[in-house]
């Protein structure tokens, strides 16, 4: 049963079914963590189960790990109950490890504590080796098919290769081809030199334009400074007219307010007379 499998796998503590008659989450978490580490020593599962949120996260992490690594579907609700129903879920994991240990020929009848502590079972590495073997087999199949196709063309290629080797080398034709290639390369070199010369000319032209613009900018800045330092001749007259205009505007606003007030009084007087006649 579950307790015997755990003892055979080398669990360091003695447990019995009585420990699960009432909910015992810490024991279930300890067993789960030990089984996960037994399955994959490098598994990264958080061991903190102090709060409710930590317990839910721990159960989900273990369930996801077993689903991805061992293809085992665990009932998270039953595991969270941490009672006899949780033992049935734990038995799924222990059964896999127990069968794997039997396959490797380990003696399971009352094994000594030292021997069971030395037992290490890493099924994750076996799964990785299996995936690598499948990938290599697929590559070998594709490479073999490609090699078979190439070997099928060997008859035609052998004839063409033999014909090419047996053909006498024509020096004049080879010389003609080499001269054409050399002339083509020389033309490319000349084009590149012309482009470099054009670039140099364009650079000189741009530098001359930049110097001209710089001199114009300096002259404009000097002229601006001169204009800013000189007070215009009409400035005094402008300031006097501005003061007069300010006084005229003040007088205008005062008269406009008075006129508006008088119009309002006239309107009130007319309205009072009209009401008196009525």
DSSP string, 207-271: HHHHHHHHHHHHHHHHHHHHHHHSPPTTHHHHHHHHHHHHHHHHHHHHHHHHHHHHHHHHHHHHH
pLDDT higher than 50, residue 116: no
Give Cβ neighbours of residue 222 (< 8 Å, ≥ 6 apart): none
φ, ψ of residue 83 in degrees (nearest 5):
-130, -150
Confirm whether pTM is higher than 0.85.
no
Q: What is the mean pLDDT of residues 244-258?
A: 93
Is a pLDDT exceeding 90 seen at residue 39? Answer: no
Decide: helix, strand or coil at residue 49. coil
d(C-alpha 122, C-alpha 129), whole Å = 11
Counted residue by residue, the chain has a size of 278
Give the C-alpha separation, 128 to 258, whole Å: 101
Query: Any long-range contacts for 153-158 (C-beta under 8 Å, 24+ apart)?
Result: none
Is the pLDDT confidence value at 32 over 80?
A: yes
Q: What is the C-alpha separation between 146 and 152, in angstroms, rounded?
A: 10
Structural contact between residues 70 and 89, judged by C-beta atoms closer than 8 angstroms: no
How many angstroms separate the CA atoms of 33 and 58, rounded?
Answer: 9
Mean per-residue pLDDT for 118-129? Answer: 55
Give 76 or 233, the one with higher predicted confidence: 76
* Mean pLDDT across 218-234: 84
Percent of the chain with pLDDT over 70: 90
Domain range summary for the chain, segments of one domain joined by +: 2-121, 126-166, 171-230, 239-278
Average pLDDT over residues 140-164: 81
Taking residues 255-266, what's their average pLDDT? 93
Q: How would residue 215 be classed by pLDDT, with cut points 50, 70 and 90?
A: very high
As separate numbers, helices (DSSP H) first and strands (DSSP E) second, the chain gives 10, 0
**Averaged pLDDT, 189-208:** 87
Query: What CATH number does domain 2-121 carry, 1.10.418, 1.20.1300, 1.10.3720, 3.30.43?
Result: 1.10.418
Q: CA–CA distance from 192 to each of 181, 184, 188, 195 (Å)?
A: 17, 12, 6, 5
End-to-end CA distance of the chain: 117
What pLDDT was estimated at residue 125? 57
CA angle at 200 for the pair 199 and 201, rounded to the nearest 5° = 90
Mean pLDDT of the chain: 82
Distance CA 259, CA 120 (A): 109
Closest of 69, 85, 23 to residue 49, by C-alpha = 23
Q: How far is CA 249 from the centre of its chain?
A: 69
Q: Is the pLDDT of residue 112 over 70?
A: no
Instruction: Tell me which of 21 and 114 has the higher pLDDT.
Output: 21
Q: What distance in Å separates the CA atoms of residue 33 and residue 45, rounded to the nearest whole number?
A: 7
């Amino acid at each position: 049963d579950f307790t015997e499998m755990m003892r055979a796998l080398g669990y360091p503590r003695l447990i019995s079914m009585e420990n699960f008659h009432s909910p015992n989450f810490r024991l279930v978490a300890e067993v789960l963590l030990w089984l996960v580490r037994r399955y994959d020593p490098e598994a990264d599962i958080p061991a903190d189960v102090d709060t409710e949120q930590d317990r839910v996260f721990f159960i989900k992490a273990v369930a996801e790990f077993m689903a991805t690594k061992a293809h085992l579907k665990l009932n998270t609700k039953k595991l969270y109950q941490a009672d006899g129903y949780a033992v049935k879920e734990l038995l799924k994991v222990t059964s896999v490890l127990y069968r794997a240990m039997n396959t490797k020929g380990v003696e399971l009848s009352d094994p000594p504590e030292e021997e069971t502590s030395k037992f290490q079972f890493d099924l994750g590495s076996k799964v990785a080796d299996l995936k690598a073997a499948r990938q290599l087999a697929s590559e070998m199949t594709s490479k073999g098919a490609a090699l078979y196709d190439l070997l099928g063309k060997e008859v035609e290629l052998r004839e063409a290769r033999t014909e090419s080797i047996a053909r006498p080398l024509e020096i004049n034709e080879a010389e003609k081809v080499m001269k054409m290639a050399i002339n083509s390369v020389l033309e490319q070199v000349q084009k590149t030199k012309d482009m470099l010369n054009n670039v140099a000319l364009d650079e000189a032209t741009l530098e001359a334009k930049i110097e001209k613009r710089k001199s114009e900018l300096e002259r404009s800045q000097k002229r601006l400074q001169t204009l800013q330092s000189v007070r215009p001749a009409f400035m005094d007259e402008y300031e006097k007219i501005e003061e007069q205009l300010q006084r005229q505007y003040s007088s205008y606003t005062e008269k406009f307010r008075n006129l508006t007030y008088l119009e309002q009084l006239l309107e009130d007087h007319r309205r009072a007379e009209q009401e008196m006649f009525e």
